[in-house]
Structure 1
Amino acid sequence: MADIDFECLSRAAVPDPQDFHRWATAALQGRHAELGIRVVDEDEGRRLNRRYRGRDKPTNVLSFPADLPPGVDLPLLGDLVICAPVVIREAGEQNKDVTAHWAHLTVHGVLHLLGHDHETSVEAGLMEEQERRVLAGLGFSDPYD
């Protein structure tokens, strides 16, 4: 289901692969799909964010939907890149449990791969409600409280 790749310098405060699998599976809500999750440090997070979004700073999660050629029918959803130091820093700044924040950003990224977005207030409201539902099912509180 999910291939997890750790490219960050330290694994301290980074969840185990089983956690990522559980969170991604919950976000898929019964869909069968393959995806990759790469946990990176700030340097790689910054490089990727600059290259693909034009922003010269690391961000918490980047989603790269699979771009399969026409006629290729594979369950490949795409890839997530999650920047460990940003996730850990944000959890502290926002007084959030770090594991809950990892779960939230994993679910958030998978929902992006499924086509959800938050460019408008209507889209944001719908996506946030999906996140709340999935996270509640996993035993986590509302990440937007």
Structure 2
Amino acid sequence: MSSLLRKPIKMTAKQLPPSKLEIDIQFASAAIEEKVFAIVSLAAIKKWVKAAVHLNGLITLRFVNAAEGKKLNFAFRSKDYATNVLTFPYELSKKTLTADIIFCLPVIQKEASEQSKSMQTHLAHLIIHGCLHAQGLDHESDKEAKKMEGREIALLTSLGFANPYAPI
């Protein structure tokens, strides 16, 4: 039956379908994929993203090596080193988000070790951090940083993680 011939269904607020956020996970290599899944499950990654993003759209998370991380950081930020996370928001409205978030696994591993944090804890923080950047939050000023860090702390706490900014 054609959708044009069906009677329209009136929906109340409680009956509206849930938002549709597509989460695409990519890996620069099979070795990186293996390392990521040794740390965390696909279900956990998606849970963290969905905790931070309540919009329709598409978020692509890509896990890369140091060479690709350095190349992207230089190409888009003119910084000649690999960084932990890069966020590329393409579309943001009150209802829709489209973004790519790049995670450099070697940098994240090094930081977790230096900060005496588990890889899972640090990765959860950076996924939340990247998702908030994709939604327009930033930490360029003290006021922006306080707002973003507060949101990160609240989200991570709701997911069972400690405050990532607490002194060790």
Question: What residue in structure 2 maps to residue 17 of structure 1?
Answer: 42
Residue 39 of structure 1 pairs with residue 60 of structure 2: no
Cα-to-partner distance string for 1:46-105 (whole Å, 9 max, x where unaligned): 00000101110000000000158xxxxx83421100001111110000101110100000
Secondary structure of 1:115's counterpart equals coil
Give the superposition deviation at 1:119: 0.2
- Give the structure 1 partner of residue 164 of structure 2: 143
Contact kept? 1:77, 1:114, Cα under 8 Å: no
| Alignment partners' CA distance in 2, 1:110 and 1:58 | 19
Q: Rg larger in 1 or in 2?
A: 2
TM-score by length of 1: 0.89
Structure with the greater relative contact order (CA < 8 A, sep ≥ 6): 1 or 2?
Answer: 1
- The SS at the match of 1:96 is coil
Tell me the distance in 1 between the aligned counterparts of 2:62 and 2:134.
14
* Alignment-derived partner of residue 71 in structure 1: none
SS where residue 66 of structure 1 aligns? strand
Q: In the alignment, which residue of structure 1 is the partner of 2:127?
A: 106
Q: What amino acid maps onto 2:67 in structure 1? A: D
Matches within 5 A, 1:45-56: 45-56=69-80
Task: Say which SS state the counterpart of residue 33 (structure 1) adopts.
Answer: strand
Match of 1:60 in 2: 84
Which amino acid letter does the alignment assign opposite residue 103 of structure 1?
A: A
The residue identity in structure 1 corresponding to 2:82 is P
Q: How many residues align?
A: 141
Output the CA distance in 2 between the equivalents of 1:136 and 1:76.
24
Identical amino acids, percent of aligned pairs: 40
The structure 1 segments of at least 4 consecutive aligned residues displaced by more than 4 Å after TM superposition are none
- In the alignment, the residues of structure 2 paired with residue 105 and residue 2 of structure 1 have an alpha-carbon distance, to the nearest angstrom, of 16
Report the Cα distance in structure 2 between the residues aligned to 1:16 and 1:5, rounded to whole angstroms: 14
